[in-house]
Amino acid sequence: MRIITMEEHYGHAGISKAGEDNLNKLVPDFAAAFGNRRTFELLFDLDNERIKTMDEDHISVQVLSNTSAQMVGPDKAVEVCEEANNYLAEAIKRHPDRFVGLAAIPTAVPEACAAELKRCVTQLGFAGAQISGRTDGKFLDDSCYAPFLAMAEELVVPIYLHPGFPPAQVKEQCYAGNLSPAVSTRMATSGYGWHVDAGTQMLHMVLSGTFDRFPKLQMILGHWGETLTYFFDRFDSTFSAEMTGLKKKPSDYLKENMYITPSGMFTQALLDMCVETIGIDRILFSVDYPYVSTKEAESFILNSSLSEEEKEKFAHLNAEKLLNIK
């Protein structure tokens, strides 16, 4: 079976260096919570070990993205995002049948975002963009990002809404307290907090009318929808049309403008729930490499309770249709 994985990451030295100061301010104990040297070595490999691992674990195509662009300030954002996107494009040229690109976007300079997305899609052949969390506390429904969203809709490419580090004040108020620094940081990020923050950003977009303004815009959220999928009924019962002024129920936007992936959370019960709530046509496969191993990827699909037709959609057909992958 062909397997396309949607949330796979790569490192770029320029972005990492440019965003280092902001990262240290947000997460001063990052190394204590995330220190895994081998993972970071794999992050920067776009050839030997990565391709070998893909072959061994029967991964046909990785959709690659960089999760650090939103850490870069306005003085460097445009420059380093261009460099990172060009770097990724070169890797795709070396392995055209194995890699697809999502653009790093300089959200610290909102007026530059649409142009960089257009360049990446029309000149570099990328399939969309990825945004990791907020930028200076702003969600994507802020008016400054409207041209970027309009460009994604015009180009018919999705935006992968990846978790990012919550603002410092959120970390302090919600995830500090009687916890060790490492536990506090993990709780604020991969253990819980950044999933809530990513889901909150998508819900902001829904409730602010973003998808009434850009009805064809498509978003992708990992980790089975970043907490949103099991709240569909609650959203509809608490956010009335009289209150929001929206044209549809909140769950309608989530079902029509959102795709979801597992991001390496290989849990059958969650897959079953998401098939029931959002439907198999809106579920894509992902591993979250190199933070999650690809070894269980194929077996999770093959051993799932999905029908054979549904397994094909989950493994590759939905991704091929959304990203126009041949």
Helix or strand holding residue 99 (H, E): strand 99-104
The sign of the dihedral angle between the CA atoms of 192, 195, 200, 201 is positive
Q: What is the mean pLDDT of residues 281-304?
A: 97
Domain spans in the chain, listed from the N-terminal domain onward: 4-323
**Distance between CA atoms of 247 and 241, rounded to whole angstroms?**
7
Q: What is the mean pLDDT of residues 46-68?
A: 97
Residue 36 has pLDDT above 80, yes or no: no
Q: With cut-offs at 50, 70 and 90, classify the pLDDT of residue 165.
A: confident
Between CA 147 and CA 127 the distance in angstroms is 18
Q: Quick check: 32 pLDDT over 70?
A: no
Spatial distance between the Cα atoms of 73 and 185, rounded to a whole number of angstroms: 22
Report d(CA 232, CA 213) in Å as an integer: 21
pLDDT in tens, 177-231: 899 888 888 899 999 999 999 999 999 999 999 999 999 999 999 999 999 999 9
Q: How many CB atoms lie within 10 A of CB 104?
A: 32
pLDDT of residue 1: 95
- The mean pLDDT of the chain is 95
User: Which architecture does CATH list for 4-323?
Assistant: Alpha-Beta Barrel (3.20)
The pair of three-digit structure tokens given for residue 224, joined into one six-digit string = 């089975």
Average pLDDT of the segment spanning 254-272: 98
What is the per-residue pLDDT for 29?
65
For residue 35, pLDDT beyond 90:
no
Burial pattern 222-260, b for ≥16 Cβ within 10 A else e, equals bbbbbbbbebbeebbeebeeeebebebbbbebbbebbbb
Whole-number Å distance between alpha carbons of 3 and 314? 9
Q: Tell me what pLDDT residue 30 has.
A: 64
User: What pLDDT is attached to residue 237?
Assistant: 97
Name the more confident of 310 and 166.
Answer: 310
Average pLDDT over residues 149-156: 98
Mean per-residue pLDDT for 280-289? Answer: 98
Count the Cβ atoms, other than its own, within 10 Å of residue 124. 16
pLDDT on residue 5: 98
Q: H/E element holding 162?
A: strand 159-162
pLDDT of residue 196: 95
The pLDDT score that the predictor gives to residue 69 is 95
Contact 63, 129 (CB under 8 A): no
What would the mean pLDDT of 40-47 be, rounded to a whole number? 93
Q: Half-sphere exposure of 89 toward its Cβ, with a 13 Å CA cutoff?
A: 18
Q: So what's the pLDDT on residue 34?
A: 64
Per-residue pLDDT, 22? 80
Confidence at 114, pLDDT banded by 50, 70, 90? very high
